[in-house]
Amino acid sequence: MSNRFYFLIRYVPDDVDDGLLAGRCISILHGVLSSEQNDIDGGIGVAFPQWCKESLGRSVAFVSENKQHLEQLKQQQYFKVMKADNLFDISMVKAVPTDVPEIRFKRNQGVAKCFAGEKRRRLARAKRRVEARGEAFKPQLCELEREVDHFHRAFMTSKSKGTKFLLHIQKDINIAQRSSQYSQYGLATNDELEGTVPELKIVIPLF
């Protein structure tokens, strides 16, 4: 398969909200991929090399088979400003070593359905539908009651709608096959998109 490349952004301050900064970095990628003013049409994945039980970690990386696309992404104004203000350290675009294992960071939109508020709303909708048919409402345990695998959140803002939302992100390991099929957020999904990235924590420190 083709070689892959990456660059890494490390958050410099000690006291940072990694979910907020990760969301802003992902938003920059999303904006680039959604724009008609560039020739980057996808194939860029997001990785969190310092992912741990407690947080997404103090860094985010972008991975692609197209080195030039990563160079263009690095030149986004937000990244330049954050680096100039000594808030980000940004590495050079480098080749990914060939012997690094594959992992997957995926957006799981189903996570939100497991929270109490969302459960109540869904039960209320189901109750209305059942009673509208003249039937008795008998709620049962369902998939919403399952324990959710470990996840972290990235905080996002939709420029088109002006609304805030969360990306619920999970990490999969022991991936057998490499894939470059990502969403416009640089993540895999639960169904169609199975994009993978290298386990970059093996090659840190990067700079």
Q: Name the pTM for this structure.
A: 0.81
Partnered with residue 60 across adjacent β-strands are: 9
Question: Which segments of 26-174 are extended strands (E)?
Answer: 44-47, 59-64, 88-90, 94-95, 102-107, 152-157, 164-172
Structure tokens at 80: 């330049």
Q: What angle is formed at CA 149 by the lines to CA 144 and CA 155, rounded to 5 degrees? A: 90
Highest mean pLDDT among 39-43, 48-52, 125-129: 48-52
Nearest C-alpha neighbor of 184 from the set 43, 19, 67: 43
Closest CA to 114 of 156, 150, 155, 143: 143
Instruction: Give the CATH number of domain 5-109+150-202.
Output: 3.30.70.2540
Burial (CB count within 10 angstroms: exposed 0-12, middle 13-18, buried 19+), residue 186: buried
- Packed helices 77-84 and 18-34: angle between N→C axes, nearest 10 degrees: 150
* One-letter amino acid of 203: V
User: Over the stretch 70-99, which tens digit does the pLDDT of each residue have?
Assistant: 999 999 999 999 999 999 999 999 999 988
Cα–Cα dist 13/58, whole Å: 9
What residues pair up with 169 in beta bridges, in sequence order?
A: 107, 152
Instruction: Determine the residue type at 17.
Output: D
Q: Is 197 helix (H, G, I), strand (E, B) or coil?
A: strand
Instruction: Identify which has the larger pLDDT, 170 or 139.
Output: 170
Segment 141-173, tens digit of pLDDT: 444 344 446 889 999 987 777 788 899 999 999
